[in-house]
Amino acid sequence: MRVGGVDPKSLCSEVLLVLPRVEQPIVFKARGLKDYAEFDALCPQPKPPGKYTKDGWVPDEKDATYQVVQSEWGKKRLAYLVINSLKPSEVEWDTVNLADPSTWTNWEKELLESNLSQVEVNRVLGLVLEANALDESK
């Protein structure tokens, strides 16, 4: 396939973030994810409770328990995006296990505990979001 004469595979697929350090800079590389198929298989989106009425099934999206579960699912989805986008960086996680979704949300805590500042962690997140989004330069 070609788009305007350009093979999409030839486009730059990684973005970089260099964090200065005295001994050696830390280089984060991020690559955009193709899709969320693996995530959806491991962590399907929660469904709200509801009830049957004369009009059929009516979901209750304001249910407090559902709101909490949905929020946790959203955090897991973001964590999946972060840790999988950072695979080119070859991060050696201590508490994050790619095979265990319950550990994914440890990514931020682990970066902070490795002596990155909150601003640097935010920049890493920004890098991941940049890799997974279109902007004017792309």
Tell me, what's the pLDDT at 9?
A: 62
R_g of the chain, CA atoms, integer Å = 19
C-alpha to C-alpha distances, 79 to 97, 99, 131, nearest whole angstrom: 11, 13, 15
pTM, rounded to two decimals: 0.84
Tell me, what's the pLDDT at 50?
A: 84
At residue 120 the predicted structure's pLDDT band, cuts being 50, 70 and 90, is very high
Cα-based torsion angle of the residue sequence 30, 32, 38, 42 in order, rounded to the nearest 10 degrees: 60
Tell me, what's the pLDDT at 62?
A: 83
The pLDDT of residue 11 is above 60: no
The pLDDT of residue 51 is above 90: no
Tell me, what's the pLDDT at 4?
A: 67
Average pLDDT on 63-92 reads 95
